[in-house]
Amino acid sequence: NAGVMQNPRHLVRRRGQEARLRCSPMKGHSHVYWYRQLPEEGLKFMVYLQKENIIDESGMPKERFSAEFPKEGPSILRIQQVVRGDSAAYFCASSFTGDHNEQFFGPGTRLTVL
Amino acid sequence: GESVGLHLPTLSVQEGDNSIINCAYSNSASDYFIWYKQESGKGPQFIIDIRSNMDKRQGQRVTVLLNKTVKHLSLQIAATQPGDSAVYFCAFDSGYNKLIFGAGTRLAVHP
C-alpha cells in the first residue's frame, strides 16, 4: 500500500519562476490537504480539496497561489512568480472521508527560491 | 484567533524514562485532537488522536490526556527510546478537517 506521494522532493526555483508541486493521495482517498511549514515551525493549513472541488482555501495567499485536484491525476499546488519568502516545506495529506478522519501526510516538497 | 501553544520547546530525557509533552489550545469548540511525530526530513506521522467526549486514550506506549476545562492536551510516552527522538506536534480540527498545528516540541532522548 503506497502512502501519500509527493514530487518533486526538492525543488529549486529562481525568483519570478513558477513552482508546481504534485501530490498523489493514498489509494481510495478523495480528500486532499496542503500545508506549509517554515523551518522550526508548525504546519500551516493552506487548502482542502476534494475531486474537482475546493472545499476550504482560507489558508491560501490571495495572489500567486492556486491548487487543484482534477478528476484524474494528482493534486497540484501552483505558485506563480515565486519570491524568497515562498521557500518552505510543502506537505500534502489525504484522508478517506471528511469527517474528523485521520490525515496521512506525504514526505513533503522542499522549495528553495534563489 | 485560534491557536495551539506548546509549553516547552525542547525536552531532554534519559532513555527508559517517561516523557510528557504538553499543549494548550484556545478554541473551546474543538472536538478532535491529534498528536503527530515528525522526524527530520520527513512528513508528520500520526501517533494518536482523541475526541472531546473522552479525557484519556491509550495506545502502544503512548497516552493522550485531554482536559477540556483548562483547554490542555498532553502526550505521555512510556519508556522513551532513542527512536522516539523527533519533533512532536499537537493539532486540533478547527472545523471540517482544517487542522491547526502547534509550534512543536523537540524531544531528545539520551542514552
Q: What is the pLDDT of residues A26-65, one digit of tens each?
A: 998 999 999 999 877 889 999 999 998 999 999 999 999 9
Of A41, A48, A107, the CB nearest to B98: A48
| Closest Cα in chain B to A57 | B98
Mutate which: B31, B39, B98, vs A, most A CBs within 10 A: B98
Q: Is A109 on the interface with B (CB under 8 A)?
A: no
pLDDT per position as a tens digit, B30-50: 889 999 999 988 999 999 999
Q: Are B90 and B101 in contact (CB under 8 A)?
A: yes
Q: φ, ψ for residue A66 (rounded to 5)?
A: -150, 160
Read off the pLDDT band of B8 (50, 70, 90): very low
| Gyration radius of chain B over CA positions | 13
Distances (CA, A) of A52 to A30, A45, A49, B99: 10, 19, 8, 21
CB spacing of A108 vs B42 below 8 angstroms: yes
Q: Cell numbers at residue B22, please?
A: 504538553
Q: How far is B79 from chain A (nearest CA, A)?
A: 26
Q: What is the pLDDT of residues B59-81, one digit of tens each?
A: 999 999 999 999 999 999 999 99
Instruction: Please state, for a pLDDT cut of 70, what percent of chain A lies above it.
Output: 96
